[in-house]
Chain A
Amino acid sequence: MSQKTPAITTKNLEIAYGDFVIQRDLNFTVNRGEIFVLMGGSGCGKTTVMRCLTGLKAPEKGQVFLGNISLWEAEQATRDQMAHNIGIVYQSGALWSSMTLAENVGLPLGEFYDLTPQEIRELSSLKLALVGLSGFEDYYPSEISGGMRKRAGVARALALDPQFLFFDEPSAGLDPVTSSLLDDLILELRDSLGTTMVLVTHELPSIFSVADNCVYLDGDTHTMIAGGDPKRLKTDCDDPKVHAFLTRGGKNRTG
């Protein structure tokens, strides 16, 4: 990864709900194969920014480039094609409850590729095995735990071999061990697949263990106020908000 190729770039991005601006003047670049974290306090608009990067919410101003294509200026057909290259792991897993895990993973494969049911089944099993869910193909989402649902969400997001993988609060609701295993999985998948990953999170252990780069979105000024390697930001950043965020309010808590 000596040569950095931009995978996702935002230029003067502004996102709003009506007159209420969520975030403005967002300018950052996520390089190919990088794990990038959108961090910030609760309610600062991290998930909304992620929705804008994934084509779910149109920006008020500015541009989002995936590779060299401007997502929101592209024609619908191009955007549909780009959607195949985007995998999203939702906060709740968002698995389709009426389908088994294998069916959840296999549905997009059957929709977009000319594969036999046997091939779809094998691929679904493989994707589930990648996230450590071998043998759980025929389980329904309601029959497995929250951590397993999240991992199954990762398997579904990987179904179409996306170039970009987005995670919305991957550690939310998980115990520290499961959360750490999920972080390991994210790193392993990045190393194996070379996928560009964007995580929305405010979980410090996850941020420090997986992130190559990050931006801090501020809920008061409605813009990004810091960016870079989170470990470096923790020691070097002078902004009190960022420093407080990365050091849990500046307190050295042990318990």
Chain B
Amino acid sequence: MKPHRHANNKTESGSQPCEISFDRSDEKKLLINLAGSWTLKCKRPSADVVKKEITAGGATGIAFNTTGITEWDSGLLIFLGRVIGLFLKNGITVDKTGLPNGAGKLMDLAAAVPEKKGARKKSQKESFLFRVGSESVAFVRSSGDVLTFVGEASTAFIKFLTGKARFRRSDLTRIIQDCGIEALPIVSLISLLVGLILAFVGAVQLTMFGAEIYVANLVGIAMVRVMAAVMTGIIMAGRTGAAFAAQLGTMQVNEEIDAFKTMGISPMEFLVLPRILGLTLMMPLLCLYADLMGILGGFIVGVGMLDLNMVEYYNQTKAAVPLSNLWIGLFQSIVFGILIAVAGCLRGMQCGRSASAVGDATTSAVVTGIISIIVATAVITVITNVLGI
């Protein structure tokens, strides 16, 4: 009779525990008697119990008597796997005829397809030097990929300038809307708060010298020259750069990019170019908007908390912020736009073919975008200082 392997009562505490006993009436063959419930929910004996028995008795084979088993599932299989594996390795014959019909067939099925030679992955400890070398090679390769991508993007841009680039204008419009108008709420909030924070921090120090009016200088210069561009850049890296990587990554997974390539349509022109153009066009406008919101934040603190006159604050800001600062800020925002879009599209195009690869691509796009922004800010700051701007 076939035991009820999946009996509904297997969770019931009243189920019989698994039992094992040995019969040595045949000196050459150890008969293993299994009884009770052999399920994953029951505590099963170790295969060593059988090993000890066979070592003590000196039998050259084992057989099973399982008529006493009331229910079984993979719990029995795992025990059998261990016992059979242990004895086959030591040249002891295993007679499976006494096993429950299904269990015997399953053990045979598991052994039916032998392990493919060389398929198993070898866990090897890599030396420090090996890892340094591998990382260096990977870095050089990745730099090469970045250069190739930038080169292809530049070629696509040149084609765009000469009117030969092929992409849908509606895509560009949609991307401009996504990068521009739809980003305004978050840019407003962050820029206003940054302006407020700068003003608060400055006010605490400047009030000690009776120089509250210079809060306008502090906020105005900081926002217009650097902070608006950097904050907008970081927002857009997290928002739009990540979205670009996820969109293109998903297209890689779904083989949509391959479909473009096989039809002779350049993904660089059709997918990457409108994204770079859209973000690069919108970044200076967002930066300008962030300038105004940041100054408004400072204005709220100056007028509301420091009792400065509204016109006085406005005039002080106007006098303190030279136009060159505005140009520097806008220039930075254009650079950031290019960097974020390139990072997002690059990681998306480099994406693997699995769902987790899309996640990795998105994370990498944000990290690359933010690092690029900080490095570019440092470089531009040094250059403007050297040039005395």
Contacts and interface: CB of A to CB of B under 8 A. Distances in A.
Interface of A: 67, 85, 97-98, 109, 113-115, 119, 122-123, 126-127, 129-130, 132, 134-142, 161, 163, 188-189, 191-194
B57 to A, nearest CB: 26
Interface stretch (B103-111, B256-264, B293-301): B103-111
20 contacts: A98-B356, A113-B40, A114-B41, A115-B40, A122-B81, A123-B74, A123-B77, A126-B77, A127-B74, A129-B110, A130-B109, A134-B110, A134-B113, A135-B115, A137-B120, A140-B354, A142-B352, A142-B357, A161-B74, A193-B5
A122 B78 contact: yes
A123 B75 CA distance: 9
Contacts of B111: 129
A126 B74 contact: yes
Contacts of B356: 97-98
B114 interface: yes
Contact of B109 (A115, A119, A163, A192): A192
Contacts of B40: 109, 113, 115, 161
Interface in B57-88: 73-74, 77-78, 81-82
Contacts of B354: 97-98, 140-142
A85 B6 contact: yes
Contacts of A135: 115-116, 119-120
Contact of A142 (B102, B106, B353): B353
Contacts of A122: 78, 81-82
Contacts of B116: 134-136
Nearest to A132: B113
B311 interface: no
Contacts of B285: none
A194 B102 contact: yes
Nearest to B353: A142
Given A134-B113, A193-B102, 10 more contacts: A97-B357, A119-B78, A123-B77, A126-B110, A134-B114, A135-B119, A136-B119, A161-B5, A192-B102, A194-B5
Nearest to B102: A192
A138 B120 contact: yes
Closest 6 CB pairs of A and B: A132-B113, A192-B105, A135-B115, A129-B110, A97-B354, A135-B119
Among A113, A114, A135, the one with the most B-chain Cβ atoms within 10 Å of its Cβ is: A135
A131 B335 CA distance: 54
A123 B78 contact: yes
Contact of B106 (A109, A138, A141, A192): A192
A108 B93 CA distance: 34
Interface of B: 2, 5-6, 8, 40-41, 73-74, 77-78, 81-82, 102, 105-106, 109-116, 119-121, 123, 352-357
A10 to B, nearest CB: 21
Contacts of A132: 112-113
A234 to B, nearest CB: 30
Contacts of A192: 102, 105-106, 109
A167 B116 CA distance: 26
Given A142-B352, A161-B73, A161-B74, A126 B81 contact: yes
Among A97, A114, A137, A194, the one with the most B-chain Cβ atoms within 10 Å of its Cβ is: A97
Nearest to A112: B40
A110 to B, nearest CB: 11
A27 to B, nearest CB: 25
A134 B357 CA distance: 26
Nearest to B110: A129
A132 B114 CA distance: 8
A114 B75 CA distance: 11
Contacts of A161: 5-6, 40, 73-74
Nearest to B73: A161
A109 B113 CA distance: 24
A11 B105 CA distance: 35
A171 to B, nearest CB: 19
A113 B41 contact: yes
A97 B355 contact: yes
A123 B354 CA distance: 26
A147 to B, nearest CB: 13
A122 B77 CA distance: 10
A139 B78 contact: no
Given A135-B116, A138-B121, A130 B6 contact: no
Among B106, B115, B353, the one with the most A-chain Cβ atoms within 10 Å of its Cβ is: B106
A188 B101 CA distance: 12
A191 B40 CA distance: 21
A194 B119 contact: no
Contacts of A123: 74, 77-78
B110 A163 contact: no
A163 B8 CA distance: 10
A141 B352 CA distance: 12
Contacts of A189: 109
A129 B82 CA distance: 14
A162 B111 CA distance: 21
A130 B106 CA distance: 7
Contacts of B73: 161
Contacts of A188: 105, 109
Contact of A139 (B5, B109, B121, B355): B121
A190 to B, nearest CB: 10
A249 to B, nearest CB: 30
Given A139-B121, A161-B5, A188-B105, A134 B115 contact: yes
